Amino acid sequence: MSAIDDILAANREFAKQFEPGPARSPRVAVVLCMDARIDPIRALGLPYGTANIIRTAGGRVVDALRSLAVSQAVLGSSELAIVHHTECGMAAVDDEQIRERLTERGMVAPDGMVFHTFRDLEQSLREDLEVYRACAMVRQDIPVRTFVYDVATGALTEVG
């Protein structure tokens, strides 16, 4: 059975007991990495329907700006948490290594494609905050806070 077949089987079981929560407007948008070790609902204590969760490789904001604009302008989120994490795969490679891996698999990145790899977690958060602040498409009048999630302990540490 494939991984997607496993998902479908699990969803059938989930749907049997599913009870939708009340319709709510999200209070917060969270941008975080797509790393499968992070369960944002549990790790961040997010009640049903209270957050827009936007996941990107490395949790990079540049890849989330369109979704953030929709979250804020259409869905009403009024706070933003940017979360990067320890042991991130995007800190273990550089853009050229990603291009090489794509080529090995018969895939091609468009010329000029930037993958936004990084070496320093705190610096990557500062860069993401700068990208956010430079974007006219997203709200500048809301709280924006940055965090590192530790995949070994589950702890969240704010980065100022």
pTM assigned to the model: 0.92
Is position 72 within any domain?
Answer: yes
Is position 10 within any domain?
Answer: no
pLDDT at residue number 48: 86
110-152 pLDDT, tens per residue?
989 999 999 999 999 999 999 999 999 999 999 999 999 999 9
Q: What residues make up the domain containing 136?
A: 21-159
Closest CA to 29 of 92, 75, 96: 75
Radius of gyration of the chain (CA): 17
Is position 78 within any domain?
Answer: yes
Task: Report the b/e string of 85-114 with b at 16+ CB within 10 A.
Answer: beebebbeeeeeebbeeeeeeeeeeeeeee
pLDDT at residue number 128: 98
Task: Please report, for the domain that includes residue 107, its CATH number.
Answer: 3.40.1050.10
- 65-73 vs 121-133: helix crossing angle, rounded to 10: 50
Total domains in the chain come to 1
Is position 122 within any domain?
Answer: yes
